[in-house]
Structure 1
Amino acid sequence: METLDNLEQAVNLFYKSQSTDQAQLNEYLTIQQKSQLAWQWSWEFLDFSRTIEVQFFGATTLHMKIQKNFLEVPESMRQELKEKLLQKIIEFGSGTKLVLNRLSMCLSAFIVHMLKEWPSAINDVIDMFLNRQLPNITQQTQQWILFDVLSSIPEEACNIITVQRAQVKQEVYKNSTVVLKTLEQFINTKCEKHQLEDEDIIALQNVAKCCQNWFKNGLIVLDGCQEITTQLLKLVSKIYWSILETDGCLSPDESELTETCLKALSSMMAQPDAYKYSNSALTLMRMFLESLSPIVKNEWKIDNLNEDIAFCIYSLFIASIECHSRTILAGIYAESVEHHEIYARFVNEILLCTDKPGNYPVEESCSTLAMGFWFLLQDEILSYDNPLERQKCLEAIQPVYAHLVKILVRKSQLPDEDNIGKWNSDDLETFRCYRQDIADTLLCCFDVLHVQILKILSEILDQGIAAIQIDTKNWPILEAAIHGFCAISQQIESVEYEEIVKLMRVLNEIPYESINEKLLGTALETMGSYSEWVNDNPKYLMSAIQLLVKGLDSSMASQATLGLKDLTSDCQPDQMMPLAEPLLEACQRSLLKGHMANSESIRLMYSIGNIMSVVSSEKIPIYLDNIISPCFTELQMHAEQKNTNDSARIRVMFCLNMISTLFSSLNTNKCKNEKKRIQPVMSSEHQQPQPILMILQKTMPIFKQICDLYINDVQVIEILCKAIQQALSNLMDDIKPILNDICSLIVSIFQIKCVPAVNDIGGLCILMFYGDELYKESMKQLLLQIVVYNFRVFEQTPLNKFSDISDLVESFYALNTKIVKKIPGAYTSENMDFIKMMNYALKGVTLPETGAIKKSASFIATFVKESRNHINMTNTVLLKGEDIIKTSLMCIAGAIPRVNVDVFGDIFISLNTKYPSEFIIWMKILETPNFPTTYINPEEKINFMRSIIREKVNKRLIQDQIKRFAAKCRGVIEDHM
């Protein structure tokens, strides 16, 4: 071992060095801490002659040794260890609290390990620090030490990493009564004082933290919590009501104390076994209401001084209901008057929390807490099996939800021009998320109220209209009402409700020019959200389009393009036909103005494709020439000038995205079914070719030039590939005339750069056209080229650098999984090296990237399932089967993140099903000593092997076994163990 001076110097350097040096020093110090000699030098570091950093490191090391390596201490030395610990704690009682805290944790860890041999440990420590006067330590310090020690005991019990953890926790639980009694008496003594001093507040903070830790670790039965609850509530009340005699505002220390008390009570209600004690839970919740409701009532105002305590009280109310939902909600129909009253009072408190005065988040912070409760209440009632009981409860809560709708709409109002100055960007983003929560909650309200919610929203809409007629600055009221309609749109049936008809009329009549632009934005979003309803009620299509077109030329173009995209996608072609040409011209004018952002123009192109699909075939080329030809002209210019600077690159990507988006939506075949009702469809020999095909036939050379120019720019190549992929997916068989050109482009890209996007479109071509005898051979050749070029990249990549190409591995094996599954005949003996393909798949499952692991594992499993039908594939599995098992076991044991190990379930099942006798032999690799890790013993390996071999169908059971095995192999002790 290094000399003590060198180690001390390293510690001092560690706490003063930069991050790069710290990493090296941390590795060195960790090795020293694991040494047996650490038991010696940790005591030597606990000396006042050394720096605080060294003292702290010594105490931390001693804690780690007691916590993790206690068995290294001989039984004969444990009494001496206890005495030395107590001596050091007394010695450091006058020192820094940082070191004293670590020494207290040392004593806690020691107690946890020694409870069987020293059953009176907790009693003895309480007596020592609470009832005696120790030398050179103040009474306050003794109390601080005691509650610090008691506070750490539950955590230390939960940190035991051996299988005895459950037994240790049980031993600790036996002492919970005496601990609670001590805490109760201490709080009660302090509360009897007329006024709490600063030192009392600090001591009580430690007591409250101690309570929280014992509750948080699930060591207290709810039946025995009434007295500690009384004391904690009494303490909160004493602190709160006493401040009203002064300035009415809690100090930071007082606020922290009340918050810790309330969090302790929340932890108490949330203990894992608490649900078993429903009567006690009701009693405790009644106590909460009686003690805390007056406090939140006093804070229920704008500019209240103690928002934090209101937040914590409401959090406690909500946590109590969430943890005991069945118990409290049974009060809806309970015969007990008291039970029903508790339910009613709790619901009222949560309603008041939702309706907390002020704007969230700048004036209040509580209302967001309540959103989840309204889902819980609704779900609980709708889950009742008895339909009469369910209906009775729904009727009981409908008035509550009706009132809730009005509150939510009011709380969702945007800040007006006079108040927006108080909001910063973080506030606005928080409010945006809050509005989405409100929208989701309104959707929940719909499930309770159904069409009744339309009447409520319609009334608020009328109020909003009246408000802007008085003063246009009142627009937030109207905007919130429209937002409410928008929130429930997905639940609205095709019925022509009078409230929705009124909404459509109002949206078109609002004088947007004289009102804040945000009102128009919400109106456009709402119109788009009702696109399916408009489809079912086409008489309103014209007015919907008029509003959305108006939005295209405004600052709210983003919402307009989104709305138009929804409308053109959802409405039937025969409804759109009469309006198509004027709408196309309006879209074209908006594009030419150049005021829209690139993303808005790209989105608008999707609508243009949808609209153009219903225009007569003679006019489509004219519109294409006006709208999309400029993009190709610009691409041609950049290609000829070989211009790759940043501005040119941005424009190239923009043009490619415009083309890609058009390709995804322009398809004249999509409306043939509708045209049959209007006019006969032309026979195939007279049918016009698809517009996208006509475009591609003319522009493939431009795509090739762009590929050559930007071959090393993955982002540009991906966008170009996406355009071709959209054309393939959209046109299907109609793309055959240029299929060979597309394949040539794919191969030309592969020859220079192998990128995932090219794998994707190559695979799509193969899957779509391999079944066509005319193209079968060319698809085989394309697959061969894909495999060859991917293998070339794999071969050129060092094994330790495969993570750099994990996206390529992922796309390659995603493609091959589909081919093995759907068209295994595409693999022929002449063109496929299955051994190499399997080797790289095995490499893929060892990478840290989730995508590569999943796709590689899926390929292996699918390959094995299909292999029995093809002799070359069968031979591959027989040759590589043992490697597959060995690699899988190594990955499960620790080579990859534990969260991904369940993917090997499919591999085991496929091997066990298709190669049962060989699988048994391959699994015997587990008999190798210390394989896959030293953490797992031979008996556990045999049990795992038997369970895996026995199960051939149930993937879930296999995955459970794998997860347990992975935990054991990694030295992780799971809770169920």
Structure 2
Amino acid sequence: MLCPSVEAVSQFYSNSDHKHHVHTWLTKARVAKEAWAFVWELLEPQKSEQVQFFAASCLYQKITSHSHEVSASDYEVLKKKLLEKFVAFSEGPKMVFTRLSVALASAILQTLPEMWPQSIANLIETFNPTNFPNVSERNLCKALLEILTVIPIEFFSVSFIQYRRGVIKNTLNTGLKDVIALLQRLISASPTDVQLEVLTCMNSWVEFGIPLNESEQLIIQTFDLLHKPELYESSADVLCVVFSHPDSHRFPYTIQKLSPHILELQPVLKTLIEERKLEECAPICQLVMAIAETHSKLILNSFISSDETQQQNSLNLIYMVMTCTGLPGYFPVDETSSQLTFNFWYSIQDELVDVGVNVNSHLMPIFHEIYSKLTEILLRKVQYPPESEYRLWSSDQKEQFRCYRHDIGDTMMYSFTILQDFLLPYLWTVLNTSVQNGEQWQVFEGIFFLYTAIAERVELTEKTYLPALLNFLPQVPITHPILIATTLGMIGSYAEWLNWNPNILQSVIPMLLRALQNTEVVTPASLALKDITRETHDHIHPFADQILTACWTMLEKNLKSKDAVRMMAIAGHVLSTLNFTDIMQYLDKLLAPQMWALSQLAKEEPNSTVQDAIVQKLEMLSWLISTITSERGETEEVVQENHHQNSSQSNPNPVLVIMQRVAPILQDLMIKWTTNAVVIQSVCELFRKTLRALMDDFAPLANDSFQMFTQMYHAYPHSAILGIAKHAILMFHRDETLQTSVKELLGVLTVKSLTVLHNDFREHTDIVEGLMNLWAQIIKKSRLLVSTQGDFDLESLFQSAVLGLALPETFTIKASAYFLQEFLIMGNEVPWVKELIQKYGGDMIIQVLKAIEGGSSRTALDQFADLLLCINKHQIDELTKFVSNLNKTCLPLAMQTMEQREQFCRHILREKSNRRKVREFVKEYYMQCHGLIGTEYGNQWAQSI
């Protein structure tokens, strides 16, 4: 008999050297049939607590996973023993008692409804004190509440097949009235410790789903417990679950009947606020938000109804929410509840927008007043605390405050829908009053923060308050760094508006350029200037010299990397408004220092400091190239004139000039950095943006660039090089003067990649992905380039793509499947390609089947389905031949049968155009192969797809 000794269990819970072996042995003992017998011996009172806990855990496992081993006749004996042990341990030890409670709960659920149909009523009757004369009435009551608490929890924890779950839930529902009656009886006339157990039990059944209309009296009794200090938080938690439960929407009348009980807490909340007991406000605020947020639609509908009492109750509830929003002090140091209210303010305005126009016009005055008061509160809550306090905050508190302000900004943005005609005049009035009163910087910062929050909602045609604001800024005492940063951010947020109101630029641009000189606010100043120069392209020309001079001056300073990059972007936006001659004059000033610095860095010995400096310079050039374009600054007449000129007389693209200057330095740079992945990525990004800017004008750089890509890839194969090479090859594959260079580059990339993959395929999934994407595009868009047999090793490419289907990364599988689909299509037109498919097509189909049957993640199933559809559409002979020889493939079966595999293949053969059906077949077959058919998880997954 496999019976664990007391010594073995004790040894497992100690630091024994044999712990692993003991664990293995005990694990086997747990699943043995003998466990049904020896657990009772180990639960004897004289055994140690560890041994008793092991026995209780073992019993739970047997009941949950091996209940089929117990016959119906023996189950009554098991139930009786389990109840006796459960009650016996009600006085402790606690961890054994808890484990026995889940075992008993599991036993009840396993036997419903056949063996124990009236389990809840039977339990309540069984725990009558007369049945257990040796157990105190209080302990017996707590034991009953414990098991009643655990049953719903265990219901959601244990996996049942779908129909069983529904049957069990319906059976438990029949016992709800007994549970409610018991809880109602105990909640009023019991000691505090028992009342706490009642609340815990109630919480569990509310989660399970107690109908509100049947538990109305119990909920009212729970409200009464709020006034008991020891039960204040627990009762509030239970009520929060009651009102926020998804099923509570089914009982609107009950919600309306119960809401006055929440309103009765308003004086309590007011007193706590006055006494500055803000932590004690939290339970009430949570309760208020549970009903308000969950039932925002019901609240709004009450204003539409003719019931004045309900209207007033809803209005009072909204103002309770506003009280919670406006708690005194600063979040998150003084209070932590105001953030709970933001979702409600969004939900109620969203509901207001959804109602009809006629109803909206009736409700708008009511909610206009509400949101007007909310704005006043949020303007206070968004403000920074005094510096003496803020300095003492932890970094975590400061981060929470930053996120909190962001939520306020979102709330104000949504509120603008209701407050359109109020908000701008209100902010303008407060700003003027604050200047006159000499307010602290925090007030101005809060005002400008709210201006920023609503920027995207303000009409571009607004001509009154925004011009007044931006022209008024010089009169505001903007001296504190945080205030300066917020002001600059506000200006940048109205960049699109400035494009429609360019006359204001003469007030804004000088302010931004002055701010650039302040080292503390370079970042927000440059961010704002970048947004404005991008959006106001047609109006920025008069300020070009000032801005470009400022950029040139700032770039001579020791700026942070991102600030320096941003300066180049600003310069690019402004340069694009100038004619070619002026562009080149400014470019000389801007580029000369950067070119010299990059050339010096190319001579340095590689280290992390030099690497970071090189990457910064390359990123600066990339942003300059991506923001400057030729001829944008010239007049329409000049553009038309240049269009008719001979191409040899036209001005070159400024980007081409930049790259011609940079190219020699890049060649020098890659001598020492050709194996550095970070630098390679930056160089490739520079070329990517250059290609995008120049398009066909890149041709003069093509040969040298192709040679550089070749050298880089030879030295260090990197997927970024494959990416940029793909763009370059596709752009110039039709250029007869470059075809030789294109084929050479493609050949080198292919040979080197295949060599790398041959040595260590699974460690270079990025190369597989890049190579397959490259070749898929080549075959699709430049088939003539590769149609000659022998120019490229397409046989090895095909085999690599098949291997790529077995890799774990979804994107690599997608790229491999993409290549194979294009290759299959090509096989229809090129005979020697068809021969390759006939040679290796079986391997491809086997790999697809392996992947679906167990070798790949379900996230890639659509890729395999699309590939099967392509095979069936373009190479049906190969698929038919494979299916006819399916029994000879020696492909091992997983959890499916050969008949299921054959049926799946027949389904695929029948579908030649319906992608949706093929994907469904693949997913269904995947579930068969993984044993998911009929399981709860499988059903959930099937519904999700």
TM-score (norm 1): 0.86
What corresponds to 1:275 in structure 2? 249
What corresponds to 1:139 in structure 2? 137
Distance 1:792 1:424, change over 3 A: same
What corresponds to 1:122 in structure 2? 120
Q: How does 1:457-536 map to 2 (within 5 A)?
A: 457-467=427-437, 470-471=438-439, 474-512=440-478, 515-536=479-500
Which AA in structure 1 matches 2:466? I
Distance 1:840 1:581, change over 3 A: same
Q: Is the 8 A contact 2:379 2:450 kept in 1?
A: yes
1:660-683 residue CA offsets vs partner (Å, 9 max, x unmatched)? 222222322443466748997783
1:114-139 residue CA offsets vs partner (Å, 9 max, x unmatched)? 12211122222222335446365443
Larger deviation: 447-456 or 354-363?
Answer: 447-456
Cα shift at 1:566? 0.8
Cα shift at 1:402? 2.8
Secondary structure, aligned partner of 1:161: coil
Q: Is the 8 A contact 2:883 2:905 kept in 1?
A: yes
86, 91, 97: which one aligns with 1:89: 86
Cα shift at 1:949? 7.1
Cα shift at 1:570? 1.1
Q: How does 1:322-721 map to 2 (within 5 A)?
A: 325-384=296-355, 386-467=356-437, 470-471=438-439, 474-512=440-478, 515-554=479-518, 555-572=520-537, 574-594=538-558, 596-641=559-604, 643-672=605-634, 676=638, 683=645, 684-721=647-684
Q: Is the 8 A contact 2:225 2:232 kept in 1?
A: no
> Hey, what's the Cα distance between the residues in 2 that align with 1:496 and 1:542?
18
2:725 equivalent to 1:762: yes
Distance 1:305 1:91, change over 3 A: same
> Hey, what's the Cα distance between the residues in 2 that align with 1:320 and 1:358?
27
Q: Is the 8 A contact 2:4 2:26 kept in 1?
A: no
> Hey, what's the Cα distance between the residues in 2 that align with 1:669 and 1:50?
91
Q: Is the 8 A contact 2:43 2:56 kept in 1?
A: yes
1:123-165 residue CA offsets vs partner (Å, 9 max, x unmatched)? 2222233544636544333233222221221233332332422
Which AA in structure 1 matches 2:286? C
> Hey, what's the Cα distance between the residues in 2 that align with 1:961 and 1:464?
69
Cα shift at 1:67? 1.6
Cα shift at 1:89? 1.8
Distance 1:336 1:817, change over 3 A: farther
Larger deviation: 95-104 or 939-948?
Answer: 939-948
Which AA in structure 2 matches 1:227? Q
1:303-347 residue CA offsets vs partner (Å, 9 max, x unmatched)? 4350331342134224432xxx44333223123334433433333
Distance 1:725 1:296, change over 3 A: same
Larger deviation: 371-380 or 432-441?
Answer: 371-380
Which AA in structure 1 matches 2:89? F
299, 311, 315: which one aligns with 2:272: 299
202, 221, 241: which one aligns with 1:211: 202
Which AA in structure 2 matches 1:664? S
What corresponds to 1:65 in structure 2? 62
Secondary structure, aligned partner of 1:671: coil
> Hey, what's the Cα distance between the residues in 1 that align with 2:20 and 2:562?
44
Q: Is the 8 A contact 2:780 2:822 kept in 1?
A: yes
Distance 1:265 1:662, change over 3 A: same
Distance 1:485 1:713, change over 3 A: same
289, 299, 310: which one aligns with 2:262: 289
Larger deviation: 286-295 or 938-947?
Answer: 938-947
Cα shift at 1:725? 1.4
Distance 1:27 1:439, change over 3 A: farther
What corresponds to 1:193 in structure 2? none
> Hey, what's the Cα distance between the residues in 1 that align with 2:901 and 2:489?
59
Percent of aligned positions with the same letter in both sequences? 26
TM-score (norm 2): 0.89
2:290 equivalent to 1:316: yes
Note the aligned Cα RMSD (angstroms). 3.7
> Hey, what's the Cα distance between the residues in 1 that align with 2:914 and 2:901?
20
Q: Is the 8 A contact 2:821 2:870 kept in 1?
A: yes
Distance 1:362 1:618, change over 3 A: same
Distance 1:311 1:670, change over 3 A: same
Cα shift at 1:349? 2.7
Larger deviation: 938-947 or 144-153?
Answer: 938-947
> Hey, what's the Cα distance between the residues in 2 that align with 1:838 and 1:151?
61
Q: Is the 8 A contact 2:552 2:590 kept in 1?
A: yes
> Hey, what's the Cα distance between the residues in 1 that align with 2:363 and 2:778?
54
> Hey, what's the Cα distance between the residues in 2 that align with 1:23 and 1:827?
60
Which AA in structure 1 matches 2:98? N
Secondary structure, aligned partner of 2:694: helix
Q: How does 1:882-961 map to 2 (within 5 A)?
A: 887-888=847-848, 890-892=850-852, 895-898=855-858, 901-907=861-867, 909-911=869-871, 914=874
Which AA in structure 2 matches 1:482? F
Distance 1:392 1:29, change over 3 A: farther
Q: Is the 8 A contact 2:804 2:816 kept in 1?
A: yes
1:184-206 residue CA offsets vs partner (Å, 9 max, x unmatched)? 2211223xxxxx5xxx23x3333
1:400-446 residue CA offsets vs partner (Å, 9 max, x unmatched)? 23332332222211223233134221111111111111112222112
Q: Is the 8 A contact 2:292 2:299 kept in 1?
A: no
Q: How does 1:772-851 map to 2 (within 5 A)?
A: 772-797=735-760, 802=762, 804-828=763-787, 829-834=789-794, 836-851=796-811
Distance 1:223 1:25, change over 3 A: farther
Cα shift at 1:843? 4.4
1:537-562 residue CA offsets vs partner (Å, 9 max, x unmatched)? 11122322212212212201111111
Which AA in structure 1 matches 2:533? T
Which AA in structure 2 matches 1:751? H
What corresponds to 1:248 in structure 2? none
Q: How does 1:27-66 map to 2 (within 5 A)?
A: 33-34=30-31, 36=33, 38-39=35-36, 42-43=39-40, 45-47=42-44, 51-66=48-63
Q: Is the 8 A contact 2:237 2:287 kept in 1?
A: no
Cα shift at 1:885? 5.6
Which AA in structure 2 matches 1:366? S
Secondary structure, aligned partner of 2:387: coil
Cα shift at 1:627? 2.8
Cα shift at 1:685? 2.4
Larger deviation: 126-135 or 677-686?
Answer: 677-686
> Hey, what's the Cα distance between the residues in 1 that align with 2:202 and 2:884?
51
Larger deviation: 286-295 or 919-928?
Answer: 919-928
Q: Is the 8 A contact 2:455 2:494 kept in 1?
A: yes
Distance 1:441 1:907, change over 3 A: farther
Larger deviation: 558-567 or 286-295?
Answer: 286-295
Distance 1:917 1:309, change over 3 A: farther
Distance 1:60 1:892, change over 3 A: farther
Secondary structure, aligned partner of 1:450: helix
> Hey, what's the Cα distance between the residues in 1 that align with 2:885 and 2:506?
72
> Hey, what's the Cα distance between the residues in 2 that align with 1:143 and 1:770?
84
235, 259, 263: which one aligns with 1:258: 235
Q: What are the ranges of 5 or more consecutive residues in structure 1 without an aligned counterpart?
A: 191-195, 244-250
Cα shift at 1:943? 8.7
Which AA in structure 2 matches 1:481? I
2:147 equivalent to 1:149: yes
> Hey, what's the Cα distance between the residues in 1 that align with 2:289 and 2:502?
48
